[in-house]
Structure 1
């Protein structure tokens, strides 16, 4: 089921009729990272259930609110809670909010997620700047751009070799160093799986050999749609657990651990993102 341009536009128009804020930056909050939205001033808040055509968030740790406001004077819109394949939504529904972002006037999307670390040098609590991705559901034919293409959104065959904006990655690295986060700021490749079951040991080993540094269940579908729409993309993974790679290990991945790490590191992640947002303006990236 694809959403038409007209349906997306009707939702964007409905939102713009209720708020004067015209966001240039869209932020998507991952598991346990919804605190980012609380930093916005002059908030106008919509529950997902009240927004026409909008899906509902069903996961613990995802609030299910769209928050408009300003971050250090920059107009932003923030998704407090996102949607995942494992909730049973069609992939076009998961990515619908990104298209609505575009029609609201957003030109830069910042995505955050909680991920399992595959890179043995990564520690729990590390923040990984995403430089690339491996789209496993895409290999199996599950791509958000499947179906008819509407040229008003973007081209039929969008390029993904530059999916993650290098200038924004560099800027985030500089901001991270300034804030004293050098010890836990990394960069790497994120692999998406559909979930909701966590990965087996054999799967983790395979993904690591394929070049993935972290694994999760979100973000990539949204990135593909954002790039299709011509928006710039920056994404961060909070490494909330170390993937189990050894059959002798007693460790087990669990969602509570994910939320707990989110809580511990979230303040620093929020500071990194909010400082980055103000720098985007100063660097005149919009020009």
Structure 2
């Protein structure tokens, strides 16, 4: 990925927006309904944006949506890209680079994840405190362009502690129970085996999924601050002794839609005022 490609995409998008977006959001499987809450939306299909890939997974609409959410200008990815779709890590994380080029400094990233922590239940919302990159690669491998970030970025605070505190306070104010935990990122597209789930738990994981980690690494490389939220859509393999499928993931995210929408909209207000 060249800086010129990032710049071209950002210039294309900035011409479509009347105002500067303050917060970027990446919406995971079944969670794209949040984009429908945006006032006076400007919707741009990924296929129209220079060098953007396109979503190929059910539950991912495949467009950028710009507009007002709780009086804050946001840029929302309604559907993300995954390494397992065959895209390079450069392509998976390209939208994060474009968000940064547009001047966005704060990123809220969401996903649907399998619960590893046995105290969790499907439908729980988990604030991501940290992650484990179990994808066997890293989006920063290759020559480093110093215009995008430093060669060796610090990951000791991949998820902003300040944002995490705001998220916990907001949940308490809404009387909403949220979990906290470590997200394990695997490549997919297969769900994990029971043995792999036990391994992830032994390593300190609380939830497992097939996204998020590359985007957060690139966001931190770019100096952006990140808040991560997982919707626990199912319990991971071997916990409930039942097969896993994508339909179950979508069904669970549908059930928590109202909670998720309320929570993220409030978080946008809080972070937008900081």
Q: TM-score range by the shorter chain?
A: over 0.9
1:42-62 Cα offsets, whole Å, 9 max, x none, are 111100111110000000000
Q: Distance in 1 between matches of 2:263 and 2:68?
A: 16
1:101-157 Cα offsets, whole Å, 9 max, x none, are 0011101000000000000110111000000000011xx3x1111111111111000
1:154-187 Cα offsets, whole Å, 9 max, x none, are 10000111110011111111111111212xx100
Q: State whether structure 2 residue 171 is matched by structure 1 residue 176.
A: yes
Partner of 1:273: 264
Partner of 2:61: 63
Normalising by structure 2, we get a TM-score of 0.98
What pairs up with 1:1-287 in 2 under 5 angstroms? 3-137=1-135, 140=136, 142-182=137-177, 185-245=178-238, 250-282=241-273, 284=274
Gaps of 5+ in 2: none
User: Secondary structure in 2 aligned to 1:196?
Assistant: coil
User: Secondary structure in 1 aligned to 2:230?
Assistant: strand
Post-superposition, which runs of at least 4 consecutive aligned residues in structure 1 deviate over 2 A? Answer: none
Q: How many residues align?
A: 274
Give 1:36 deviation, angstroms. 1.1
User: Secondary structure in 1 aligned to 2:15?
Assistant: helix
Gaps of 5+ in 1: none
Pairwise CA RMSD? 1.0
Normalising by structure 1, we get a TM-score of 0.94
User: Contact conserved, 1:21 with 1:68, CA < 8 A, in 2?
Assistant: no
Give 1:38 deviation, angstroms. 1.1
